[in-house]
Structure 1
């Protein structure tokens, strides 16, 4: 397989997984019309990090890893990283986020209100930015953030549950969306379902087991979803499902069944008060309150995926149980005559029952109960097969079988998949991407979602890739629209998670939710000769802003006036919003990490892909479509420091400029890197390592002012043996040393997520600390507090958290008047100059804000949220 010359693509899995490792995927290239790879980020450096993270939670996997076996094919870096910042050094007890939201809501608010900046279309195919490092012309069109669940009815109402931005409603068959869950303490969606009475059920806590998924606060029901909104009072039961994820909600026996990360639970659908009943947990000792609740493996010992209630006999139920990376308890369970749940070991036909081949599972059944379908991901395949983790798609007359395999990844690949041209196979992320649904009017008409969308009209005998991964690699494609054959139609964004079938103006439609938002096509739509749909419509019209930003950058727009605002996004590249734009464009594809923007020129941009793969442009990435890599004509440049090649940086690694000299940049991996050419840098060789943090350590935050550099690090960074520290030195490489943090826990042994340096005094610095305090975290040295202050260059620290709620702090910034703003997992807080008490800034929903930046004139604060886009507020309103 030829190595790509440029490196960018969506199939990076974005930090896929909460704990067992990033799946290793071979490098590949999507050939472009001129023979050059287009839109492709090489994954060979990721594959080089294959490690044994899953072995910490699976003794069987550990034995295989020590023998150089299956689990060595999983990638450690990127696996824990979003989650571990919030959990290390221990496990977080249920109720942490709920308590934090209550405390935050009770804080006194500052003046002013947030202005939503990114509530407008974001066009991933924007022809202004058709650079070799963008994904423009791939065919996804307008996009937004990840959609984890979908629901629709026959009256034109559509409901979309986003990963981090709450639930949205459209009453027009899609588009013109309104938020429904802003009053809830969790904006993370796991499941949506409409019951027979027309009520909308919401299970919070995304269950895709990816790294940036959040736990939920329970299950809620909306009696009149056409015009109501969710509230805390609409929660079903008590707090039994707090701090869990909910993958599916199913109905039967007069109950709602919830497949969660802590077993299968049920509740009456008539009486919504009273506790949830735990129906089955394979390892109850690992549940909260159990004898092994504090074990490192506890989070993975009771994961359940789906429930199949036999529509012909609702007394018969099957549970699909298991952790995607494998465990001895993985399998299918049903009740015996005494009501005891027993594992099914035979009589299932082609559908496996052994633990090695039952991973993440999704069920679906025909409306008349005549057919059942299932998708099964295999832990064994995921660990040993670089092509795919998909065991297969199956069909049966009853959920009790016998099941017949109707498709495997090779068959799907041969039916018009776009993955094959990139060196991948369908189901390579089958643990992360799954949906399945059946046409209510036709038991043989099935839609299945993996990385792509597949359709069968004959019960699975044949399939069409109606939603290919992208258009790159197809013969119809050309970067020049005038040269296309006309056969390349809009497709969906990649990585499918949710699906629903509904009606609008009397016509049936299928709605899919994926890493790029919501798309719709007629239920029985048209296809071209290759089986690709010709009638997808993006429903991401800008009214649904669920964009998941890691960062934000702001600089003057020298061409149009005002400012240019840019930011790095989960699986949606880098957005660019210029002063006169009504539509945002994308100048870099793949995952967007940290961002640097020249305050004096907003088209000078440095964007981080994963692991410090830094790209820069000095014209916003505007390109004529020539894709040139000629340095004299290129519009973007790969300037990654060496820690990128060796993968010794975090998935989203810290990158900053010196506050006093914007030409001095600091980046953190294992080493602290400095370059002094600003946006004129053209090569990664221009970075200089000024300090080696040491083997096994990696930077979590960096800051610099007047040549003084602060670097926070962790190593190990996961729960097992977690350690953190601070190193301080100068940008010229002199004076570097590790700070001796006091043993009394003044600075907690938790993830150090950000520095804020006083612009007037480089020795005056604040430290933001992630995770939860020891009240919620069972781990050595968890300590208390989230904001700390030093007036002697980091030598000593004082806890200044005061009345700050116990919520993970992500970053901080000193405002021009001397006040301090802190971004947290539930919004932004502020401490006025000379004060000790904290206030809530505005009234954002319960969404994580990961980064704060100031406008070039210092008058406006920009907040990058991971689920609701970018917001601004005038700095004077904080005072």
Structure 2
């Protein structure tokens, strides 16, 4: 057994993705969050905080409100959305226009090279540190998979949250991308129809912190060999700028459950418009009276469609926002109109307070229908779980009657790893859901929440075949030599997609989650605890959908070359040494920003959410020896005080001074400075250089030669949005707020990054997120995305010129003086002493959240959905 210290495992939350436009979750509208399995927040502390209270996380920490730890992800969702939407709501068509404009630019530079297209081992034994998740059992991982599809010929399709759709011809593994020609790489749904065609609904629909809107539905007629193209889009632009949760088929039509109602289209004639079947609040749809209302994004959310197998004209719609609204419920047509079902459903709830996120699944023989229901009331009131239940209709009709087969307590007792108060099965049921029925056995069903559950008797009994992780089980020990050997590989947590298919005549179940894709035989084996013994990770390195927030590069002093690291959504911090054949994870959790010593790539600072910073000076290499002697720990928590007061953003900025790598700045409400570099060991070693003001939080910081630029927002959502820039010195002198009137030269939008001229700290560039006033109907939205100061920030000039109207995320000055800018659709470049922008290389339509120049003078791009890319900048003008 592990010691009590080690058993206090760490939890985290999820945060961003890539591609077309973002789900704009209104601030304050969401409750419920996504603390997922990894990162620096102890399990017992998390459970205590959950049990104690509910509400906004930051306010809870500050003592201003009740708090639920799971609200962190909802807060993260709000913040990621507001960066791209505030001060208004983005109109449909913004990303389509941006993609067209970007493709119209002249291309320059050499080709991008993906350097993370190799296996990434979350259980790498080199990094069995207290802050890693090595030995948790997830094995090799990649970025979040939102949807899965499989056929009986060994072909498997994995739809990632932000890295596009991938195909395997070998029952999983040896993957190839098949959607790179589309203007979005965000997947919402995948489905194979009866003719073998593959349907793709774009726009991930989990309403989490990094879900992007899509560009509609596409069909691939020959999925075994072809690739998706824009010519394969179904219908017109009716579903552009939506998210698509499910695609269902019946009576010659495909039905789409979207963020803007339920739509249908002929499956034989793919041209012509989509038909809006039902929208609960049509006034909030694009082009209608309330389209720009801040609440519009969640007023027409639909989750799934259940078609009666015996009479396809009978359809049930699952409609509703996860946190509740008076329109939430189940709907069916009666007398020519859609009406809420209030009777005859049996145990399946009908009240708006108890119908939230819903998933349906039908058996192949038509004898069973299954459903999962997440309850807004549970989300609000129950610190343990938001799951209302799992249900079966033994008539095979979606109209019921339905019988409840399980709640979170029953699932917790089925071998779950989630048995602690405050974090039990279904705690994130609004984010984690799938259902699938074995085609050969109507009572054999799989359910996905945080874990994977299996029942072979129609839901009467359940087994946790894919537990959250192995920590806490009797088989586990941090010392591999003392582990009993009974801990089986499991899947990564947080389930989203599922499919059942056959390879070489054998049936497999395929699951997609925050760690990628996994499979096991449908007729698989279980141990005495009900845990599967035969999961296989399909994340073999040929599929790279890793969702990076940041990248750091330093010299690899042990092996030559460089070491590359970066923070990832729900997959910790990756470490790629120059001699690695398999990349390892040396920190657990949502890795956000990163500082790496250019002179020594094993000196790393990784930020978890809300400015929780961990630092190591040996790449966090550890065999677990800290267990017997804590002095041997190789990573240290050094969070600035704003982490404890809740006054930092979900993804908070930090940076090393460009002239002095031992001086760091970090931003919450305050601009924090520390001068001990990677030798810092205590939060007390930070000092406040400047208070940005009550209600203000830093969105970007940069420093060079002791001069600091800090951007902030507050309020940061669309209502009363404000932003500003403060400038001063690391020693606390010379600080002042720059005058930025709402209608001034710098737009009233989210200020995302600075790039300082290494030769002159008074010369700097500013990037601005969101869209210009053409698309954002908010006060002071302004125009432009890139601005320049030559007087230390006192005045700023718009240098956007022909820059596409697209959210800009970061910038870096290249050797030779050129400027590279990261955007939500790739990288744009402007040469020294020129005014024209060009497209730097050619990436798929994926968000690039950070750019860095390494000590090898190469440019590195952290993409949120396709890993890390590098390019030689030699020869750029």
TM-score tier by shorter-chain length is over 0.9
Deviation at 1:511, TM superposition (A): 0.1
Show the counterpart of 2:469. Answer: 470
- CA distance change for structure 1 residues 840 and 566 in 2, over 3 Å: closer, same or farther? same
Deviation at 1:816, TM superposition (A): 1.2
For 1:302, which of 294, 300, 303 is the aligned residue? 300
Show the counterpart of 2:20. Answer: none
Deviation at 1:23, TM superposition (A): 2.5
Show the counterpart of 1:315. Answer: 313
Classify the secondary structure of the residue corresponding to 2:788: strand
Show the counterpart of 2:13. Answer: 12
Deviation at 1:82, TM superposition (A): 1.1
- CA distance change for structure 1 residues 826 and 845 in 2, over 3 Å: closer, same or farther? same
For 2:32, which of 23, 26, 31 is the aligned residue? 23
What is the 5 A alignment of 1:776-787?
776-787=775-786
Cα RMSD for the two superposed structures: 2.4
Show the counterpart of 2:565. Answer: 566
What is the 5 A alignment of 1:61-72?
none
Task: Give yes or no for contact 1:27–1:44 (8 Å, CA) kept in 2.
Answer: no
Deviation at 1:729, TM superposition (A): 0.6
For 1:379, which of 364, 368, 376 is the aligned residue? 376
Show the counterpart of 2:254. Answer: 256
Task: Give yes or no for contact 2:12–2:590 (8 Å, CA) kept in 1.
Answer: no
Show the counterpart of 2:358. Answer: 361
Task: Give yes or no for contact 2:86–2:716 (8 Å, CA) kept in 1.
Answer: yes
- CA distance change for structure 1 residues 423 and 103 in 2, over 3 Å: closer, same or farther? same
Classify the secondary structure of the residue corresponding to 1:332: strand
Show the counterpart of 2:528. Answer: 529
Task: Give yes or no for contact 2:119–2:539 (8 Å, CA) kept in 1.
Answer: yes
Alignment of 1:218 onto 2:227: no
Task: Give yes or no for contact 1:39–1:135 (8 Å, CA) kept in 2.
Answer: no
Deviation at 1:78, TM superposition (A): 2.1
Task: Give yes or no for contact 2:13–2:38 (8 Å, CA) kept in 1.
Answer: no
- CA distance change for structure 1 residues 234 and 330 in 2, over 3 Å: closer, same or farther? same
Show the counterpart of 1:452. Answer: 451
Deviation at 1:111, TM superposition (A): 2.9
Alignment of 1:671 onto 2:670: yes
Q: Tell me which moved more, 733-742 or 509-518.
A: 733-742
Q: Tell me which moved more, 73-82 or 311-320.
A: 73-82
Show the counterpart of 2:801. Answer: 802
Classify the secondary structure of the residue corresponding to 1:763: coil
Deviation at 1:478, TM superposition (A): 1.2
Show the counterpart of 1:607. Answer: 606
Classify the secondary structure of the residue corresponding to 1:139: coil
CA distance in 2, matches of 1:4, 1:651: 27
What is the 5 A alignment of 1:801-820?
801-820=800-819
CA distance in 2, matches of 1:733, 1:7: 39
What is the 5 A alignment of 1:646-665?
646-665=645-664
CA distance in 2, matches of 1:50, 1:814: 44
What is the 5 A alignment of 1:588-627?
588-627=587-626
Classify the secondary structure of the residue corresponding to 1:876: coil
Deviation at 1:203, TM superposition (A): 0.3
Task: Give yes or no for contact 2:14–2:36 (8 Å, CA) kept in 1.
Answer: no
Task: Give yes or no for contact 2:263–2:278 (8 Å, CA) kept in 1.
Answer: yes
- CA distance change for structure 1 residues 174 and 462 in 2, over 3 Å: closer, same or farther? same
For 2:94, which of 82, 93, 96 is the aligned residue? 96
Deviation at 1:641, TM superposition (A): 0.5
Task: Give yes or no for contact 1:418–1:473 (8 Å, CA) kept in 2.
Answer: yes
Alignment of 1:147 onto 2:145: yes
Deviation at 1:280, TM superposition (A): 0.3
CA distance in 2, matches of 1:448, 1:781: 47
Task: Give yes or no for contact 2:38–2:588 (8 Å, CA) kept in 1.
Answer: no
Task: Give yes or no for contact 2:549–2:862 (8 Å, CA) kept in 1.
Answer: yes
- CA distance change for structure 1 residues 71 and 673 in 2, over 3 Å: closer, same or farther? closer
Deviation at 1:74, TM superposition (A): 4.4
Per-residue deviation, residues 113-153 of structure 1 (Å, max 9, x unmatched): 00010000000000000000000000000000000000000
Alignment of 1:342 onto 2:366: no
- CA distance change for structure 1 residues 301 and 809 in 2, over 3 Å: closer, same or farther? same
Deviation at 1:725, TM superposition (A): 0.4
Show the counterpart of 1:712. Answer: 711
Task: Give yes or no for contact 1:28–1:43 (8 Å, CA) kept in 2.
Answer: no
Alignment of 1:179 onto 2:177: yes
Deviation at 1:45, TM superposition (A): 7.5
Alignment of 1:702 onto 2:711: no
CA distance in 1, matches of 2:47, 2:298: 27
CA distance in 1, matches of 2:553, 2:38: 33
What is the 5 A alignment of 1:392-411?
392-396=389-393, 397=395, 398-411=397-410
Alignment of 1:686 onto 2:695: no
Show the counterpart of 1:86. Answer: 84
- CA distance change for structure 1 residues 582 and 28 in 2, over 3 Å: closer, same or farther? closer
Deviation at 1:647, TM superposition (A): 1.4
Task: Give yes or no for contact 1:25–1:386 (8 Å, CA) kept in 2.
Answer: no
- CA distance change for structure 1 residues 664 and 41 in 2, over 3 Å: closer, same or farther? farther
Q: Tell me which moved more, 472-481 or 164-173.
A: 472-481
CA distance in 1, matches of 2:67, 2:47: 19
- CA distance change for structure 1 residues 446 and 54 in 2, over 3 Å: closer, same or farther? farther
- CA distance change for structure 1 residues 752 and 482 in 2, over 3 Å: closer, same or farther? same
Q: Tell me which moved more, 413-422 or 685-694.
A: 413-422
Show the counterpart of 1:33. Answer: none
Alignment of 1:731 onto 2:730: yes
Classify the secondary structure of the residue corresponding to 1:357: coil
Deviation at 1:695, TM superposition (A): 1.0
The count of corresponding residues between Structure 1 and Structure 2 is 860
Show the counterpart of 1:645. Answer: 644
Show the counterpart of 1:201. Answer: 199
Task: Give yes or no for contact 1:10–1:494 (8 Å, CA) kept in 2.
Answer: no
Instruction: Please report the TM-score for the alignment, with normalisation by the length of structure 1.
Output: 0.95
Deviation at 1:480, TM superposition (A): 2.2
- CA distance change for structure 1 residues 47 and 730 in 2, over 3 Å: closer, same or farther? farther
What is the 5 A alignment of 1:752-831?
752-831=751-830
CA distance in 1, matches of 2:120, 2:53: 33
Show the counterpart of 1:869. Answer: 867
Deviation at 1:9, TM superposition (A): 3.3
Task: Give yes or no for contact 1:594–1:655 (8 Å, CA) kept in 2.
Answer: yes
- CA distance change for structure 1 residues 419 and 599 in 2, over 3 Å: closer, same or farther? same
Deviation at 1:482, TM superposition (A): 2.5
CA distance in 2, matches of 1:471, 1:862: 35
Task: Give yes or no for contact 1:825–1:848 (8 Å, CA) kept in 2.
Answer: yes
Per-residue deviation, residues 822-848 of structure 1 (Å, max 9, x unmatched): 000000000000110100011100000
Runs of at least 5 residues in structure 2 that lack an aligned partner in the other structure: 18-22
Deviation at 1:721, TM superposition (A): 1.1
Task: Give yes or no for contact 1:849–1:864 (8 Å, CA) kept in 2.
Answer: yes
- CA distance change for structure 1 residues 219 and 596 in 2, over 3 Å: closer, same or farther? same
Classify the secondary structure of the residue corresponding to 1:91: coil
CA distance in 2, matches of 1:207, 1:738: 39
CA distance in 1, matches of 2:55, 2:387: 21
CA distance in 2, matches of 1:825, 1:748: 18
Per-residue deviation, residues 773-799 of structure 1 (Å, max 9, x unmatched): 111111111111100011111111111
CA distance in 2, matches of 1:471, 1:335: 47
Deviation at 1:190, TM superposition (A): 0.2
Q: Tell me which moved more, 429-438 or 18-27.
A: 18-27
What is the 5 A alignment of 1:34-73?
42=46, 51=55
Task: Give yes or no for contact 1:205–1:245 (8 Å, CA) kept in 2.
Answer: yes
Task: Give yes or no for contact 2:11–2:37 (8 Å, CA) kept in 1.
Answer: no
Classify the secondary structure of the residue corresponding to 2:108: coil
Instruction: Please report the TM-score for the alignment, with normalisation by the length of structure 2.
Output: 0.95
Deviation at 1:422, TM superposition (A): 8.0
